[in-house]
Chain A
Amino acid sequence: MSGFDDSLLNEADETVRIRMVVNGRKVAWEVAPRETLVDCLRDRLELTGTHAGCEMGACGACLVQLDGRAVHSCLIFAVQADGATIDTIEGLSERGAIADLQAEFHRRNALQCGFCTPGMLVNAHELLSQVAQPSREEIRDALSGNYCRCTGYEAIVDAIDAVAKARGTSGGVT
């Protein structure tokens, strides 16, 4: 009935087998429960576009999409994501989902060192999927969980704003 195996209390660090779909590809790993999703993505799949920054959920560099919503991959243990569908910056980039955002970030120089950029793009993608035409105030609010220490955000807000308007005019991207 309970399904609980008392041996879990003896061997703390045993590995657990998990499966997920990452960027459209089925993967199965043996992970220790203490391993965070960001570490697994980077170390095991070499998806190093997802950056481990503060590892506290404050900086936003580690954002990925989990079952279609942006989440901090530093605030989830990989075991919790067993069975989930994950899209990292590589997946979003390769299937062209954020091509216009990337082009606009590039065009407006909305990055300097680039460390925060993957998280910024995942977050911008999330925002525009929720609110088609956000105000600049709404864009700033949405970016409140992403730290950028180089740009002062102005160019980033400009880029997101421009993409929202362009998508509105073109009837949206596919």
Chain B
Amino acid sequence: MKARAFSYFRAATIDQALDAHARAGDDARFIAGGQSLVPALSLRLQAPRLLIDITHIDELRGVRREGGHLRIGALTRHCEMLSEPLIAEFAPLLHAAAPFVAHPAIRNRGTFGGSVALADPASEFPAMTLALDAEIEIAGPSGRRRVKADDFFIDLFETSLQPGELITAIYVPLFRADQRFAFDELARRRGDYALVGCGMLATFAGARIDDIRISFFSVGNTPTRVRGVEATLIGSRLDAERVVAAQGALEGDLAPPESDEVPPAMRLHLARVLLGRLLGRLGEGA
């Protein structure tokens, strides 16, 4: 339960961090909040030669408006999702999801960028970047780039991050008056990983849904958008019949894996129940 020996470098700038990683090759890991990485090191699931601490890089901090987006610095802690007024106003879905992320002491330390980079399919925030149509800003040896959340999550703990790259910020389109959101998850105990979780963001034209993005977590190898469900909802009113149709479409979108704890059919059932509840709340203007 103790990490293997490693060297430690505290980077002051992004360039320093990238340079250190380039020199160490595959044997380096960036550390920010460390709330998932430290247990992985303790269990020796990972044993890098070098740990590069990026927590003191100013450029990775802060939440601010930038054009039509909210720029959320990668080092923004989970607890700040609850306390930062700009998040509550312009990214309320993240504000709603935050209390479900682990428990308070973990939220005091864990970072948004770290959660997205890890891409745990059972985590709340990676899935919410999908619902929000967020863009992930990445810095690496070959420069900066921005990747749509839709293109970021590839497979189990696999993202489009290349070795030596780090997330600098996440850009979330500003929440608008014609939009509504809903979030919830089903877990055995608050703070545990969800059996099924879901967040959604809808744009309304009057009583009709003009656009909707629905993202599930804990249902497969990656955070999962349910495009078939979204298609049944776009252009329609959220009446009871349509909610049932949306629930019916879920089967085509989700294929939960076999697991000892929760059989796929049960997980699908829970997803259906959760979807119904959230669409109900959306209909009430939640």
Give which listed residue, A12, A33, A80, A145, contacts B191 with CB less than 8 A. Answer: A145
| Per-residue contact bits, chain A 69-94, to B (CB 8 Å; 1 contact, 0 not) | 11110111101101000000000000
Q: Are A4 and B20 CB-contacts (below 8 A) given A69-B79, A80-B31? A: yes
Point out the residues of chain B lying under 8 angstroms from A36, CB to CB: 2, 38
Point out the residues of chain A lying under 8 angstroms from B189, CB to CB: 144
Question: Within the complex, what minimum Cβ distance (angstroms) separates A12 from chain B?
Answer: 4
Which of the segments A40-48, A55-63, A102-110 contacts the partner chain? A55-63
Point out the residues of chain A lying under 8 angstroms from B50, CB to CB: 8-9
> Of all chain B residues, which has the CB nearest A34?
B3
Check: B15 CB closer than 8 A to any chain A CB. yes
Interface contact A69-B108, CB-CB below 8 Å:
yes
Interface contact A144-B191, CB-CB below 8 Å:
yes
Distance between Cα atoms of A142 and B192 in the complex (Å): 13
Point out the residues of chain B lying under 8 angstroms from A2, CB to CB: 15-16, 19-20
Distance between Cα atoms of A124 and B106 in the complex (Å): 15
Question: Within the complex, what minimum Cβ distance (angstroms) separates B278 from chain A?
Answer: 21
Number of interface residues of A (CB under 8 A): 42
Question: Within the complex, what minimum Cβ distance (angstroms) separates A23 from chain B?
Answer: 19
Point out the residues of chain A lying under 8 angstroms from B15, CB to CB: 1-2
Check: B42 CB closer than 8 A to any chain A CB. yes
Question: Within the complex, what minimum Cβ distance (angstroms) separates A3 from chain B?
Answer: 5
Interface contact A80-B55, CB-CB below 8 Å:
yes
Check: B257 CB closer than 8 A to any chain A CB. no
Point out the residues of chain A lying under 8 angstroms from B108, CB to CB: 69-71
Within B1-42, the residues touching A (CB, 8 Å) are 1-12, 15-16, 19-20, 23-24, 27, 31, 34-35, 38-39, 41-42
Check: B144 CB closer than 8 A to any chain A CB. no
Q: Are A55 and B1 CB-contacts (below 8 A) given A14-B7, A123-B104, A145-B191? A: yes
Interface contact B42-A77, CB-CB below 8 Å:
no
Distance between Cα atoms of A79 and B55 in the complex (Å): 12
Point out the residues of chain B lying under 8 angstroms from A55, CB to CB: 1, 42
Interface contact B16-A77, CB-CB below 8 Å:
no
Interface contact A77-B8, CB-CB below 8 Å:
yes
Interface contact B9-A145, CB-CB below 8 Å:
no
Distance between Cα atoms of A33 and B109 in the complex (Å): 19
Q: Is the interface of B mostly helix, strand, loop or mixed?
A: mixed
Distance between Cα atoms of A172 and B53 in the complex (Å): 39
Distance between Cα atoms of A140 and B38 in the complex (Å): 26
Distance between Cα atoms of A4 and B14 in the complex (Å): 12
> Of all chain A residues, which has the CB nearest B5?
A13
Give which listed residue, B8, B42, B103, contacts A56 with CB less than 8 A. Answer: B42
Interface contact B105-A123, CB-CB below 8 Å:
yes
Distance between Cα atoms of A13 and B6 in the complex (Å): 6
Distance between Cα atoms of A14 and B6 in the complex (Å): 8
Point out the residues of chain A lying under 8 angstroms from B191, CB to CB: 141, 144-145
Within A6-36, the residues touching B (CB, 8 Å) are 6, 8-9, 11-14, 16, 32-34, 36
Give which listed residue, B24, B42, B79, B102, contacts A145 with CB less than 8 A. Answer: B102
> Of all chain B residues, which has the CB nearest A56?
B39
Interface contact B38-A76, CB-CB below 8 Å:
yes
Check: B145 CB closer than 8 A to any chain A CB. no
Give which listed residue, B10, B41, B190, contacts A144 with CB less than 8 A. Answer: B190
Interface contact A80-B53, CB-CB below 8 Å:
yes
Check: B51 CB closer than 8 A to any chain A CB. yes
Give which listed residue, A4, A13, A34, A126, contacts B16 with CB less than 8 A. Answer: A4
Interface contact A6-B23, CB-CB below 8 Å:
yes
Check: B49 CB closer than 8 A to any chain A CB. yes
Distance between Cα atoms of A167 and B15 in the complex (Å): 49
Nearest first, the 3 closest Cβ-Cβ pairs linking A and B are: A145-B103, A144-B191, A33-B8
CB pairs A–B below 8 angstroms (6 shown):
A6-B23, A33-B7, A34-B6, A60-B105, A69-B108, A82-B10
Q: Beyond A14-B7, A56-B42, A71-B109: 9 further Cβ-contacts under 8 Å? A: A4-B20, A33-B7, A33-B51, A72-B35, A72-B106, A74-B38, A75-B106, A141-B99, A144-B192
Which residues of B are in contact with A by a Cβ distance under 8 Å? 1-12, 15-16, 19-20, 23-24, 27, 31, 34-35, 38-39, 41-42, 49-51, 53, 55, 79, 99, 102-106, 108-109, 189-192
